[in-house]
A and B are shown apart, each in its own frame.
Chain A
Amino acid sequence: MAPLLEIKGLKTHFATDDGMVQAVDGVDITLQKGETLCVVGESGCGKTVTAMSILKLIAMPPGRIVAGQIMFEGRDLVPLTSRELDDVRAKDIGFIFQEPMTSLNPVLTVGEQIAESLRRHEGLSHKHALARTVEMLKLVQIPNAAARVHDYPHQFSGGMRQRVMIAMALACKPKLVIADEPTTALDVTIQAQILDLLQDMKDRFGMAVMLITHAMGVVAETAQRVVVMYAGKVVEEADVESLFDSPRHPYTQGLIRSIPRIDLDAAHKTRLEAIGGSVPILINPAPGCRFAPRCRFAFGRCAEQEPVLREVAPGHRMACHLGDTQGGTP
């Protein structure tokens, strides 16, 4: 079966005064129909830029897709103009943003903001679009939807606004929903509710979900497959069980060890581990593995040769020289 979305060798660079920032530098991500894929990594690793590149929502200039293909249902989205992409946006690919407080237009009613994409993509009349909007608001469990459809964003709480964002992204029943850290700005109880709601919606509409997050807890709870990104590259990709059971890449191992454990009793509790150092600056990055400076297993080859993604188990790929029999051993 052909995948729904296939990103191949995507490179998105940003021109700055100091040089080209290689924010995304050769990313491959494949997403099947109806699948939930989590993209994890720390801030600045390029996960948001990857997602925004799909619909060309990055600011261009200074951003630019310099190489790669983004195949959606067999069609490459990269060469399309913004105008041609307008038919894909919201209709085929819905987007949920990180900040519900700032992602809604303060001077338009939430109803209008949902209804406008219904009118644009499904050619509905004002009346029908409004009816569908109310229906969507009910689906995302906004109480008293018929009245609240005429309210403005500032009259909603953060969690409710994120529900509105979900309703907006799902209004045209897209085949893929990209959620860019949808729960980061919310408090923990609301986070759980929003994740549940996303799961509900997925069961109802059967769309594929690409969930971008930096919280391993969210990954464990929602993902079927996981892509771990570091410094603009994919370092590991696996289904969620194998990733948590046997993480291969030192970075992934570090990420998993940094999750607080509540299942250990006090006697076994150890200091929470952190990965030392910080993400490299992506202007003219040094050759070799980008994680090498922070990696406790780094050896000679890591600084010279860039590791490529290779299959280490069925469906499990990673980019690290460790255990690579083709080269020298540490």
Chain B
Amino acid sequence: MRQYILRRLLIAVPSLLGISLVLFTVLALAPGDPFAELVTNPNVPPEVAAALRTKFGLDDPVYVRYLRWLAAMAQGDWGFSFVSRMNVDTLILQRLPTTLYVIGSAQILALLIAIPVGVFAATRPYSIFDQIANTLAFIGFSLPTFFTGLLFILVFSITLDWLPFVYTTDIKATGFRWVIEQVRQAIMPVMVLGLFQAASMTRFVRSAMLDVIRLDYVTTARAKGLGQARVIVKHAMRNAMIPVVTLVALQMPAVFGGAIVTEQIFRIPGIGSLLISSILSNDTPVVMAVTFVFACLVVLFNLIADVLYGWLDPRISFR
């Protein structure tokens, strides 16, 4: 098992190298660079701008710049943000906890809704409960988060004035009040993301359960007189959760992507809004670093999915 994980991590190195190469090339080919504004700024003499470009190596060929970036990365130097005037790694570490807090809570909410609802719906297919759950799920994943987000703001912040619609990291409160505020401002983004996730997950859990619930071994379990709850949870769910866990793990990168939109709507100072603002201000080192972090997350969650799969299903062995 440990050997398997180690080998998978080693295999991840070349793929991450490939990803970084592609990312770097695309960003280098993209129009605009951090000093584009300096050139057009009449207060900056052209020779100063040129000197700056030479100093940061922007006029070197792409492969030289890539190798330089790679060498720096290998030493743990993520680069310097031209806009924020700070190291990229400090910047990312500043933003990451907020994103993880919101996305993590949304995922937990999604699972807390999807698993019970999906399982219950599958035990009573085509019942009233199932029909309602299906309809709501269909609506849920048909509505994009930028729509539900605005709808939530309109209803809960503007009309009812229950919740704040701008997310702040510097809450002016301490102790218990701080916790309350922290939770209050996270409610809407977590609901928007979580419900969207829950909608598609519910349908998936339901169909995974339906696949399993008619199988022979579930009948065997019923014949043992274990009781409905035990048969469902221990015998059917254990098996149905195998594909669900894989799906959830593999969806995580997409969730990070989807969170970019939500972070924009609620002004959450997370890693997603950092990416957007860096792209808009041509802050190449930050764009490079954030996309690279996303790439690492994809590789990591793929590995987690595979490990979980093997852990849940004894028929799969790690070799």
Contact = CB atoms under 8 A, between A and B. Distances in A.
Interface string A84-105: 0111111100110101001111
Q: How large is the interface on A (under 10, 10 to 19, 20 to 34, 35 or more residues)?
A: 20 to 34
Q: Is the interface of A mostly helix, strand, loop or mixed?
A: loop
B225 A89 contact: yes
A90 B216 CA distance: 16
B200 interface: no
Given A82-B228, A103-B216, A105-B239, A95 B314 contact: no
Contact of A121 (B217, B223, B225, B238): B225
Contacts of B219: 57, 97, 103
Interface string B181-219: 000000000000000000000000000000000111101
A107 B224 contact: no
A89 B222 contact: yes
Contact of A117 (B225, B235, B312): B225
Q: Is the interface of B mostly helix, strand, loop or mixed?
A: helix
Nearest to B214: A59
A106 to B, nearest CB: 6
B314 A106 contact: yes
Given A102-B217, A105-B239, A106-B217, A120 B313 contact: no
B226 A97 contact: no
A102 B215 contact: yes
Q: How large is the interface on B (under 10, 10 to 19, 20 to 34, 35 or more residues)?
A: 20 to 34
Given A86-B227, A105-B235, A99 B314 contact: no
Nearest to A93: B223
B216 A107 contact: no
B225 A86 contact: yes
B163 interface: no
B217 A57 contact: no
Given A103-B216, A105-B235, A107-B238, A87 B314 contact: no
Interface of A: 55, 57, 59, 82-83, 85-91, 94-95, 97, 99, 102-108, 113, 116-117, 120-121, 152, 154, 165, 168
11 contacts: A83-B228, A90-B223, A90-B225, A94-B223, A99-B216, A102-B217, A105-B239, A106-B217, A106-B313, A121-B225, A168-B220
